[in-house]
Amino acid sequence: MNSRDINYAKKDGVDVIYLAGGCFWGVEKFMTAIPGVLRATSGYVNGNPNIVPTYEKVCSGDTGYKEAVRVEYNKNVVSLDALLYSFFRIIDPTLKNRQGNDRGSQYQSGIYYNDDNSKAVVEKVVATEKLRYKKFSVEIEPLSIFYEAEKYHQSYLMKNKGGYCHISNEKVDMAAGMIVDPSKYDRPHTDEIRKKLTELQFSVTQNDATEPPFDNDFWKSSERGIYVDVVTGEPLFSSRGKYAGSCGWPSFSEPIDENALVYIKDYSHGMVRTEVRSRVGNSHLGHVFVGDPESPNGVRFCINSASLRFIPYDDMEEEDYEKLKKFIVR
């Protein structure tokens, strides 16, 4: 690919991706927090090649450049899949030329790749993310040009603790605690999913149906083990986080890895709720509620049994979930 990253030389064992998600201060801080990210550098991406960008020029909106971050990472520690799914947590992909309080073409969100391997991963993750939204405005392009921003922009929020950031500390902390690698799981084609699942499982996970309460596989289950996405096998919940709720569906106080879940506002049935979906499979799982007196921490993940497959503790090693045993034994 014919791309130019000014003042950057490829390093052995280091892969790179370029992400634009509003103000680069926050994106840089967020990406730096993820284990396996070696360096995040603020800069300007894919603008007019005849213009050498500066912050003032880019803010004019006339250069075509977007504020972006070059993310250098060790793929043996963190996958590109994980970085991209994390990135989608900090942007609203339905917005054009806007993120948070930032407005203007320089704040257009985007993903820019510089090799065919990265392109394939980007296209796979984007295909899944598009399933979640009726409108998708993230720019997906090969890298054409990237300039590092001025020195005072680099590590800005590290040097200015009270500086503006459109990304919450909660999201930064969540990314830093990533446990499950999404690159190990794939969403099959819908035809394959239909063949694999029962009619009820397909209806729940793919068409957002709800199974009957008090008459489902895991409502009363207390066996030790983990619950994975019935579509992809991605680990979601464990028996340690399960409690005896009275709602009629499996109740969990916490997931194995918060990063493996996606939360979407649900306005159906005249209510305002928070829907829970799986990250890679985009399976409808159920809803999450805050303020449940039965839950140890007040949080109830009310999940359809039909969206889950249970892996008993004694089978976890055989099914390649051995590393997650520590999340079951207290």
pLDDT at res. 11: 84
Region 194-205: what's the mean pLDDT? 98
Mean pLDDT of the chain: 94
pLDDT at res. 328: 86
pLDDT at res. 175: 87
CA distance 49 to 180: 39
pLDDT at res. 103: 95
Q: Is 46 helix (H, G, I), strand (E, B) or coil?
A: coil
Catalytic residue flag (residue 302)? yes
pLDDT at res. 46: 97
Catalytic residue flag (residue 247)? no
Structure tokens at 217: 């596989």
Region 90-107: what's the mean pLDDT? 95
Structure tokens at 285: 């799982």
| CATH number, domain 4-178, options 3.40.430.10, 3.90.1150.10, 3.30.1060.10, 3.30.420.40 | 3.30.1060.10
Task: Kindly list the domain boundaries of the chain, sorted by start residue.
Answer: 4-178, 184-327
196 backbone dihedrals φ, ψ, rounded to 5°: -75, -35
- Residue 289 pLDDT > 80: yes
- Residue 329 pLDDT > 80: no
Region 254-270: what's the mean pLDDT? 93
- Residue 77 pLDDT > 70: yes
pLDDT at res. 12: 86
- Residue 10 pLDDT > 90: no
pLDDT at res. 7: 78
Percent of the chain with pLDDT over 70: 99
Q: Which of 23, 59, 165, 247 is labelled catalytic?
A: 23
CB 313 within 8 A of CB 221: no
CA distance 183 to 181: 6
pLDDT at res. 3: 67
- Residue 207 pLDDT > 60: yes
Domain range 184-327, CATH class: mainly beta
pTM of the model: 0.90
- Residue 1 pLDDT > 60: no
Q: Over the stretch 19-62, which tens digit does the pLDDT of each residue have?
A: 999 999 999 999 999 999 999 999 999 999 999 999 999 999 99
Region 251-269: what's the mean pLDDT? 94
CB 227 within 8 A of CB 238: yes
Helix axes 24-32, 169-176, angle to 10 degrees: 30
Strand partners, 300: 289
- Residue 2 pLDDT > 60: no
Q: Over the stretch 141-186, which tens digit does the pLDDT of each residue have?
A: 999 999 999 999 999 898 998 888 889 999 999 888 899 999 999 9
Region 262-272: what's the mean pLDDT? 91
pLDDT at res. 6: 78
Strand (E) or helix (H) holding 207: helix 199-207
